[in-house]
């Protein structure tokens, strides 16, 4: 497998010149952030992708995950990588600080997620699906459910999933129909 090298120069160009980060940072909710802070976050996301997530591809492909009645065992290094990921605050880049998020613009979260996906698609799906679950809870759950779920998900203690069902197929997506 080839080593992943994050395209930092390209990412920072898109963030700063195409998406106009400075204009986004002028919004009141982002008053505590500046271009230098965002650059530091993106560069640390690149470091995580290059040094931790990318190298896991091989163990993920060769060893894979195994299931027993007691648990699922991930490939070597994956559990430690997720712990490092969670402890680094990567589960909550753009989420509301009220529930443990960092509160950065979604643009920043998207940039680091792109590097995670490019370096290790398998690993990146867990935080991606958790982000969707956090957004669903944040937008539709009662305050008591938000208080229960969001801090644990933002901290990486709990993860989320996506469950798809169809009336005629249940969760068997090979049996879905489109009109």
Segments in 19-120 forming alpha helices (H): 21-25, 35-48, 56-62, 78-87, 106-119
Question: 178 pLDDT exceeds 80?
Answer: no
What's domain 8-175's superfamily in CATH?
Acyl-CoA dehydrogenase/oxidase, N-terminal domain (1.10.540.10)
Task: Report d(CA 92, CA 98) in Å as an integer.
Answer: 11
> pLDDT tens digits, residue range 121-175?
999 998 999 999 999 999 999 999 999 999 999 999 999 987 777 777 777 777 7
Q: Specify which residues 67 forms β-bridges with.
A: 72
60-116 tens-digit pLDDT = 888 888 999 999 898 889 999 999 999 999 999 999 999 999 999 999 999 999 999
Terminal Cα-to-Cα distance of the chain (whole angstroms)? 41
Domains of the chain, residue spans: 8-175
Contact 103, 94 (CB under 8 A): yes
Residue whose C-alpha is closest to residue 127's, from 142, 110, 149: 110
Q: Give the span between the Cα atoms of 129 and 179, in whole angstroms.
A: 27
Query: What pTM, to 2 d.p., does this model score?
Result: 0.85
Residue 138 to residues 72, 119, 142, 143, 170, Cα–Cα distance (Å): 28, 29, 9, 9, 26
Q: Which among 17, 16, 14, 34 is positioned nearest to 25, based on CA atoms? A: 34
């Amino acid at each position: 497998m080839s080593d992943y090298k994050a395209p930092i120069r390209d990412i920072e160009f898109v963030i700063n010149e195409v998406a106009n980060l400075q204009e986004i940072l002028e919004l009141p909710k982002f008053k505590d952030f500046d271009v230098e802070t965002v650059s530091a976050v993106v560069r640390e996301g690149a470091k995580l992708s290059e040094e931790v997530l990318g190298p896991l591809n091989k163990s993920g492909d060769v060893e894979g995950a195994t299931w027993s009645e007691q648990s699922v065992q991930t490939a070597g290094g994956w559990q430690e990588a997720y712990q490092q990921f969670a402890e680094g605050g990567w589960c909550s880049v753009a989420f509301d600080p009220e529930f443990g998020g960092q509160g950065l613009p979604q643009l920043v979260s998207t940039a680091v997620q792109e590097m995670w996906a490019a370096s290790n698609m398998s690993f990146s799906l867990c935080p991606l699906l958790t982000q969707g679950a956090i957004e669903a809870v944040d937008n539709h759950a009662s305050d008591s459910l938000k208080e229960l779920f969001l801090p644990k998900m933002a901290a990486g203690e709990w993860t989320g999933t996506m469950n798809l069902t169809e009336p005629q197929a249940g969760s068997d997506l090979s049996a879905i129909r489109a009109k």
